[in-house]
Amino acid sequence: MASGDMNNSDWQQRKAKAFARGMGNLFPVFAARARNAELWDVEGKRYIDFGAGIAVVNTGHSHPAVVAALHEQLDAFSHTCIMVTPYPAAVELAEKLCAVAPIQDARAIFVSTGAEAVENAIKIARAATGRPGVIAFSGGFHGRTNLCMGLTGKVVPYKKGFGPFTPDIYHAPFPAEYLGVTGADSLAALEQLFQSEIEPGRVAAILIEPVQGEGGFYPVPDGFLESLRSLCNQHGILLVADEIQTGYARTGRMFAIEYAGVEPDILTVAKGIAGGFPIAAVVGRQAVMDGPEPGGLGGTYAGSPLGCAAGLAVLDVIERERLCDRAIQVGERLLTGLRELQARYPDRVGDVRGLGAMVAMELVIDGDPARPDAALAKALCSRAIESGLILLSCGVRGNVIRILTPLTIEMEHLEEGLTILADSFGHCAGP
Ligand SMILES: Cc1ncc(COP(=O)(O)O)c(C=O)c1O
């Protein structure tokens, strides 16, 4: 059959014969084109995109400024390798990244994916401190490489069957207040780790997402990052903020950690920083970043010219279109929409929360936080896609609906998406 005659189901069957099943897809929908917050599949059906390719196209699908920058770069050259003959766009992007990061006298490196950024953050922390240990949090997600799987605090599907993981990684409970874990509980657990598992003098870094992403969209409670900063200072431990999902304007600030006024030693960014082009970065204090020797950091495609050109265009768009403000505006509208659903279905929507345009609702049975309703989350996402809305779930318990629209979404598309969401909810949850 000619490719042009194939529908979604044909492609799904063809994919099943060419892909290993481990690389699954949420929806049997094959994209043909996309623009800002709209996407069309190979059958010509249109969708509103409330997922942005999992927090990547924050500036919308194919933002004209990003596309123009890419064309220009592609006409000039596509690859020379940053470690052989670097290029101005990489230097400019590193300068800008260091300037926007909430870190004094920052330095950056580029890599290609979020997992690589986290790997390198830990390499740098270990080289800078000469210590092996790393503490991460339960429910956290940091990527799919071996070190990152070890750091990730969710077994299925990320760790199951994939061990052994690297030694000297420990987990403390993430302070998800809705699940009954307070900041104080989490700090007490860290102290316990220092007594029972590893002395603080052997810990290189504590790694945390300021708003836990895959784990369920739990923002850290007020004051927690400040306490973590003090704990790190007390023991000479580096604080590493994984801002790969929260980064770049999504939460209403360039970085979510800015809300706490806390300076991390290192932060990682990826996803939204280049509007869909695979580039990621580690930014940190110069004294820390210069821990590894020359040649110790890098990668063939690290900081590719196309990624850098797109990254510069994305930063311009964020500034010109005031996307931090837009994230707040979009987030407030989403929160109102989800709270209306909660008012209508108080037994099913246990919690609505968000920071900027990183918004979620947690689905439960009989209003009980201890009884997650993953089946409802799954049914809701399926119904939504059938009705023309790309909607994602997350959460260690699989019962959280997360919304990550492009920050540039047209207000009428936001309304359209919320209407589909409400109708789908009504269909799945009953009257
Ligand atoms: C917080 C966080 N860290 C790391 C990663 C891994 O990024 P990548 O999939 O680009 O390797 C993700 C991806 O979802 C993430 O959300």
Which atom of ligand 1 is least distant from the CA of 243?
1
114 lines ligand 1 (CB under 6 A): yes
Q: Cα(425)–Cα(274) distance, rounded to whole angstroms? A: 33
Rounded average pLDDT over 153-163:
93
Which residues in 331-341 are b (16+ Cβ under 10 Å) and which e? bebbbebbeeb
pLDDT value for 405: 98
Q: Which residue type does 14 have? A: R
Give the torsion through C-alpha atoms of 287, 292, 293, 294, to 10 deg. -90
pLDDT for 180 equals 96
Distance 143 CA to ligand 1 centre (A): 5
pLDDT single digits (tens) 64-106: 999 999 999 999 999 999 999 999 999 999 999 999 999 999 9
Residue of 23, 110, 141 to test ligand 1 pocket, by largest number of atoms within 8 Å of CB: 141
| Pairing relationship of beta strands 133-137 and 218-219 according to DSSP bridges | unpaired
**How confident is residue 1, by pLDDT bands cut at 50, 70 and 90?**
confident
243 lines ligand 1 (CB under 6 A): no
The closest residue, in CA terms, to atom 16 on ligand 1 is 245
At 307 the pLDDT is: 98
- What is d(CA 359, CA 334) in angstroms, rounded to the nearest whole number? 7
Tally DSSP H helices, then E strands, for the chain: 13, 18
Given a cut of 90, is residue 243 above it in pLDDT?
yes
Only one residue has tokens 């030693």, namely 265
